[in-house]
Amino acid sequence: MLTRHWIMLIAALTLLASGLVGGVIAQSGLAARPTSVAVVDIQRVFAASAEKSDLEAEITQRAEALQQEGNALKERISKMRNGLDMLEPGSPSHRSKVEEIQQATFEAENWRKWEQQKLQFQNARIIKRLYASTVDAVEDVADQNGIDLVFFREPDLQERYENPQQATAQVQLRKLLWATDDVDITDAVISRMNLNYQNR
């Protein structure tokens, strides 16, 4: 009987202890650390990116080289047309020259379109690469400063819009309405991004 009394007392104490522990665990779940948030102005980051400047210089060089090649092709076709005037219209040599000019014009146009597509693809790769570099820099700065979430800082709305629909569209696209300058880490991200690029 004494043993039964002790068993009941131990069981009651166990239930009481588990209730207290459960309450402490539940309370500690509510007292989680606050979330640290920051914002970054991506337009400013891209504008100040040394990597972007170098990549744009490469694209400009390539575009200028393509322009020269295109001009050379135009000059060649122009000379072919000038030679056409010396041939008798309708003659076999005239028809042959016309076909040659048409073929050269067709090839030049296809070449221009192909090179234009390649440039557009290169531009898309640059944007993707810059975005990846930006995200890496944001992650580095956030990790160092204990920041949990980083949002895109929206540029200020324009003073004037051409029509109400344009203004409405801009307002509807906004995801972040306001942030204090104290949570803006743009300058730190720019420094980190340029440092990462320099150390590559």
Distance CA 78, CA 71 (A): 10
Nearest to 155 by CA among 186, 131, 182: 186
Question: 0.75 exceeded by the pTM?
Answer: no
User: Dihedral of the CA atoms 129, 134, 139, 144 (nearest 10)?
Assistant: 130
* Domain layout of the chain by residue ranges: 1-32, 33-198
DSSP 3-state assignment of 26? Answer: helix
**Residue 190 and residue 44 in contact, taking contact as beta carbons nearer than 8 Å:** yes
Distance set, CA 160 to CA 13, 43, 170 (Å): 72, 20, 12
CA angle 72, 85, 92 (to 5 degrees): 100
Tell me what percent of the chain is helix, strand and coil, each rounded to the nearest 5. 75, 5, 20
Name the helix (H) or strand (E) containing 107. helix 92-145
Q: What is the pLDDT along the chain (200 residues), one digit of tens a residue?
A: 545 555 555 655 555 455 544 444 445 555 677 889 999 999 899 999 999 999 889 989 999 999 999 999 999 988 888 877 788 888 888 889 889 989 999 999 999 999 999 999 998 988 899 999 999 999 999 999 999 999 988 877 766 667 788 778 777 777 888 888 899 999 999 999 999 999 98
